[in-house]
């Protein structure tokens, strides 16, 4: 069964690799991300990844209406904290 797949922040790394994989398998793939990676066979929708959860929820609700019936949602937005592991603080990961 071919699925309608929505990948949030799929413009690079794991998200892009998953998009390419699912396109090759013949699924309908939509990438929602701040930048378009040009993944052939996938649709792109510009989406600002924000710390404002209300803003993100509204943007994703609107996107879901545009994309239609989504069988698989993949969220790949990342968080990066640089430095030696001993210097990383748990509070920033909460």
pLDDT tens string 36-70: 989 999 999 988 877 778 888 888 888 888 888 99
| CATH code for the domain of 9 | 3.40.50.720
At 92 the pLDDT is 58
Give the total number of structural domains in the chain: 1
pLDDT band (50, 70, 90) for residue 4: very high
* Mean of the per-residue pLDDT values of the chain: 85
Q: What's the CA gap between 41 and 28, in Å, rounded?
A: 8
Q: Reading across the β-sheet that carries 4-8, which strands appear in turn?
A: 43-46, 28-33, 4-8, 72-75
Query: Does the pLDDT value for residue 93 go beyond 60?
Result: no
Q: Which residue has the tokens 């937005």?
A: 77
Q: Tell me the residue ranges of DSSP E strands in the chain.
A: 4-8, 28-33, 43-46, 72-75
Q: Which residue has the tokens 């991300």?
A: 33
At 80 the pLDDT is 63
Domain that holds residue 19: 4-93
Tokens standing for residue 36 = 């378009």
């Amino acid at each position: 069964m071919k699925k309608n797949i929505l990948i949030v922040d799929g413009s690079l790394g794991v998200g892009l690799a998953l998009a390419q994989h699912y396109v090759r398998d013949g699924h309908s793939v939509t990438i929602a991300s701040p930048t378009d990676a040009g993944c052939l066979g996938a649709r792109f929708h510009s989406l600002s990844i924000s710390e404002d959860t209300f803003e993100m929820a509204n943007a994703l609700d609107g996107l879901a209406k545009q994309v239609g019936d989504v069988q698989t949602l993949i969220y790949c937005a990342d968080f990066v904290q640089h430095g030696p592991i001993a210097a990383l603080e748990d509070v920033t990961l909460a």
